[in-house]
């Protein structure tokens, strides 16, 4: 079986963890791109798939450069999805492949599906209100993060009485149709996400706690193997649904 050759775009804590995991598992890491060694569309590179974990302000430009090179891409950066439609067209027009996720942890992907199932049941039980909260380390720049917003979107798809995500700290009563998606930033928390369904009688909680960055790195390598040789624009969950027989 052909081993995917990997490039890493962004060499922060996530990039370093991806490198550790990749080398430990026998992947060839051909290039590591950062501010000192930027992507150069005039050069020829041997990697099959680039794994991009940078900053939201850099991501779309990186995607376009990689697509122009004919390279497939895994995108783990969050905060760029307001440009998703244009990026999808760029990937399609370039004939390359891209897989993205707000969270590449396999455990979080399981959590997403549990949230959807819980929400579909809560839709029948109006005694329960549902909301979500997340915790991340003090350096995370988006708040709420992309994972929290993805959780919120999954709740909205299932709970028909909720129509709108509200992320602000409210100085008023929340409206019944509003879904509160809130966040806390501090310390060194790798990532904790909670979904709570609460009634006068009891509380149902789902919680996912990332212990470190290992799960995100491992999932991004699974995604790299999956997108290698494929064309099109995909969400990581699509690949896992096929793997798990859910489609």
Catalytic-role residue among 65, 136, 162, 180: 136
CA distance 96 to 60: 15
Count of residues making up the chain: 247
Rounded to an integer, what distance in angstroms lies between the CA atom of residue 106 and that of residue 246? 15
Under 8 Å between Cβ of 235 and 109: no
Active site residue 180: no
| Rounded Cα–Cα distance for residues 38 and 54 (Å) | 12
- Has 200 been annotated as catalytic? no
What is the sign of the dihedral through the CA atoms of 117, 120, 121 and 122? positive
Q: Furthest-apart CA pair in the chain: how many Å?
A: 64
Contact yes or no for 102/56 (Cβ under 8 A):
no
Helix axis angle, 214-227 relative to 236-243, nearest 10°? 80
Contact between 59 and 80 under an 8 Å Cβ cutoff? The reply is yes
Spatial CA neighbour of 22 closest among 220, 246, 230, 176: 220
Task: Kindly list the catalytic residues.
Answer: 136, 140
């Amino acid at each position: 079986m052909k081993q995917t050759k990997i490039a890493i775009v962004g060499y922060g804590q996530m990039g370093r963890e991806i490198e550790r995991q990749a080398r430990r598992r026998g992947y060839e890491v051909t290039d590591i791109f950062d501010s000192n060694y930027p992507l150069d569309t005039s050069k020829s590179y041997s990697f099959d798939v680039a794994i991009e974990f940078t900053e939201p302000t850099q991501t779309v430009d990186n995607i376009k450069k990689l697509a122009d090179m004919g390279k497939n891409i895994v995108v783990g950066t969050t905060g760029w999805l307001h440009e998703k439609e244009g990026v999808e067209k760029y990937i399609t027009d370039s004939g390359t492949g891209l897989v993205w996720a707000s969270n590449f942890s396999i455990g979080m992907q399981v959590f997403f599906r549990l949230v959807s199932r819980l929400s579909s049941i809560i839709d029948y039980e109006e005694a329960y209100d549902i909301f979500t909260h997340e915790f991340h380390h003090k350096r995370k720049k988006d708040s709420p993060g992309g994972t929290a917003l993805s959780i919120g979107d999954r709740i909205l798809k299932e709970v028909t009485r909720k129509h709108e995500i509200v992320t602000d700290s409210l100085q008023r009563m929340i409206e019944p149709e509003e879904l509160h998606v809130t966040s806390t930033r501090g310390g060194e928390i790798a990532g904790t996400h909670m979904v709570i369904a609460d009634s006068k009688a009891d509380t149902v909680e789902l919680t996912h706690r990332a212990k470190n960055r290992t799960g995100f790195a491992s999932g991004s390598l699974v995604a790299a193997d999956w997108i290698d040789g494929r064309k099109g624009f995909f969400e990581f969950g699509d690949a896992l649904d096929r793997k798990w027989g859910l489609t």
